[in-house]
Copies of this chain bind each other. A is one copy, B any other.
């Protein structure tokens, strides 16, 4: 209307191409003007539009290093989406990815969603039968696989695209992208149809499955968008941030950080392996501002010979288990600030955070660490976290906020998975009473913060008392010579169960106790006397060179229980 009478506003034919700033997907008709389905793909498209020349990905520590700006990367993501569609991938299909942290892995988190398919990342440390099970269960139609892991997919019926991680001509993955470009007919983003249902599946991540078969956790576009936003906000990621990939992206889709990074317009550095020497190179010289890692990974970082105080402040997100006072202190000395979060694959990674209080300033490091070790309160977009017990009618009742009574952590809201894929029974069980049941046992403190006591299966029932293996570990980790400690139950003829501690020593203490492990055991037991009640003191202590860990750096208690079973 406005322009009908004002001819002068009609544009002259475009002399400058506008394509480069058109990052709009094809909008299906019928969508209300005021509703846009939440979709984390939006973030990378914004980044490419607003900061086209900013470094999006740096992949430095390989034979053929590569770097991509946001505009180039967005084009590659678009190519991947077209290539998938051209390969027969339909909306809702699963596309598996088996790779360490490479540019291809980063592409996959956006390109698969752009093709309206579901990304199914698979842990590279799994055995072939485990991978087969996941491929079978997910029904993945296509597999993107890093050249180092092709043995895991040998003989699979699904279409396989191998990535040699070269970023160069001749790499099958690059050829796949080229085909996508070719089949796009240069329609660009406007040739891809926008998903109108934000409640549709976005990612399908399989739990590690310490007991029984791994379960497929189906998340939605809406949940991924809101979780990514929370992670960017809670860790203060911004356009001048540089994120270093240490956490594997295959672990719960990197806790949604692949999308938090793009939301923030930040630069990400991908690394194939967790190599502390390379990590320190980047912390010191690549302007890193953010990374994520479990405490065991963090211990490796702060204990490395190259570790030193950084000239700039770094924020690290710690999850997996609570950081100890020692670790928080060591990180702090390096100028690394800890954001302690808690979550599971079923909650898109983080869903609670230990919020720092004003009075922490006046506390000793040890006291402060005790507060910081708590799992805290629900994250900004995580609606609700409760600690409950369940009565005989399956009604959930909150435990008193007394810091003592143990219950189970349950949650609901937008950053809880939609369901276990193809497993209505497990879904029903996990969602009983209208809440997702985490399986983690915790107390609620008077300030409403929650603190994990244990996984339900990790509780040690010693003389009829419930001993939290986590609480025991926290106390023992304060012993001057202890680097890491894990405690599991060991059958005891009199008490039913008693704690057994597996310990690694600090490098500085190794010589002191060499050949004198019995003396160390005695020392540690003496140390625990003033700190732990009788039923919670370690009856047995075993010094190890290394503790068995998952690919994400969590100590594998199942392996330790295996050792115990053979004793």
Contact = CB atoms under 8 A, between A and B. Distances in A.
Interface string A412-435: 111011110000000001011011
A38 B223 CA distance: 12
A233 interface: yes
A13 B232 CA distance: 40
B2 A390 contact: yes
- Give the dominant DSSP class at A's interface: loop
A355 B51 contact: yes
A459 B9 CA distance: 11
Contact of A402 (B16, B378, B465): B16
A447 interface: yes
Given A46-B378, A377-B50, A18 B236 contact: no
Given A49-B377, A389-B10, A36 B400 contact: no
Contacts of A52: 447
Given A8-B465, A11-B400, A407-B9, A33 B436 contact: yes
Contacts of A444: 18, 21
Interface in A442-465: 444, 446-449, 456, 459, 461, 464-465
A33 B408 contact: no
A525 to B, nearest CB: 25
Contacts of A447: 21, 52
Interface string A31-67: 1111110100010001001111010000000000000
Contacts of A24: 384
Contacts of A10: 389
A1 interface: yes
A378 B36 CA distance: 14
A229 interface: yes
A42 B435 CA distance: 18
B392 A4 contact: yes
A399 interface: yes
A509 B184 CA distance: 62
A405 interface: yes
A514 interface: no
Contacts of A130: none
A45 to B, nearest CB: 10
A21 B444 CA distance: 10
Contact of A36 (B13, B238, B380, B414): B414
A249 interface: no
A8 B252 CA distance: 33
A465 B35 CA distance: 38
Contact of A355 (B20, B50, B446, B464): B50
A239 to B, nearest CB: 8
Contacts of A12: 400, 405
Contact of A408 (B2, B18, B199, B437): B2
A23 to B, nearest CB: 8
A400 B18 contact: yes
Nearest to A238: B236
A383 interface: yes
B389 A11 contact: yes
Interface string A273-296: 000000000000000000000000
Interface string A390-402: 1010000111111
B436 A16 contact: no
Please indicate which of the listed interface residues A21, A54, A238 has the most CB atoms of chain B within 10 Å of its own CB: A21
Contacts of A434: 27, 29, 31, 33
A380 B49 CA distance: 12
A263 interface: yes
Nearest to A378: B46
Contacts of A446: 16, 20-21
A441 interface: yes
Given A46-B377, A233-B233, A448-B50, A413 B34 contact: yes
Given A14-B400, A400-B14, A444-B21, A435 B33 contact: yes
A508 interface: no
A9 B441 contact: yes
A528 interface: no
B448 A9 contact: no
A187 to B, nearest CB: 15
Contacts of A408: 2-3
Contact of A464 (B8, B9, B22): B8
A464 B6 CA distance: 10
7 contacts: A2-B437, A6-B466, A10-B389, A34-B413, A35-B199, A36-B384, A46-B380
Interface of A: 1-4, 6, 8-16, 18, 20-22, 24, 27, 29, 31-36, 38, 42, 46, 49-52, 54, 199, 220, 223, 229, 232-233, 236, 238-239, 263, 355, 357-358, 376-378, 380, 383-384, 389-390, 392, 397-402, 405-408, 412-414, 416-419, 429, 431-432, 434-437, 439, 441, 444, 446-449, 456, 459, 461, 464-466
A-B pairs with the 3 shortest C-beta distances?
A21-B448, A14-B400, A11-B405
